Amino acid sequence: MELVFEVLKQQHLYAKLSKCPFNKTEIDYLGLNISGKGVTTDPAKIQAVMCWPTPKSVKEFKRYYGKFVHNYGIISKPLTDTLKKDAFQWIDAAQYAFDNLRTIMSQAPVLALPDFSKPFTFEIDASGSRMEAVLQLKGHPIAYFSKAFGPKTKALSVC
């Protein structure tokens, strides 16, 4: 801590005491709960996810996303398809995907914290219709990436 304060002082930076929690085993930051065990979603946010209403417009739909969800792009494909039409239209497939994501996001996994002194594993899977990736540390996920391909991308080579 002394080193941190010394660097702050040298750079003429100041910290507001009321915004600097000390001696905590976990903190809430930007809707995330960060602890020695890893990063999880804030339980209050999970409860809010379970109460999400079905979107009624493109604007409402765009606020939903899932960085804690493995295969998010594939699961949410029926939802993103609703944005590509001339008029917003909520179909049964979109409702199923929305309900599925809401359930999955309420059970979000603990993401490991990166430890740059240890090797990472990066797994990638691509096919003609989608791409998925997971960054792991000792078998524990740190981050997910998933994208379902649109018609133009599907025409390209997988490589």
Helix (H) or strand (E) holding 81: helix 77-81
Q: Average of pLDDT values for 80-86?
A: 71
* pLDDT tens-digit readout, 25-73: 888 877 778 888 778 777 777 777 677 777 776 666 655 555 566 777 7
CA distance to 13, 110, 121, 132, 140, per residue, from 116 (Å): 27, 18, 12, 23, 14
3-state secondary structure 31-78: CEEEECCEEEECHHHHHHHHCCCCCCCHHHHCCCCCCCCCCHHHHCHH
pLDDT tens-digit readout, 103-121: 877 776 677 788 899 999 9
Instruction: Quote the DSSP letter at residue 7.
Output: H
> If pLDDT is split at 50, 70 and 90, which confidence band does 85 have?
low
Mean of pLDDT values over 1-26 = 85
Q: Using an 8 Å Cβ cutoff, are 129 and 153 in contact? A: no
Q: How far is CA 153 from CA 65, 88, 97, 131, 136, in A?
A: 21, 23, 22, 11, 27
The per-residue pLDDT of the chain, averaged, comes to 78
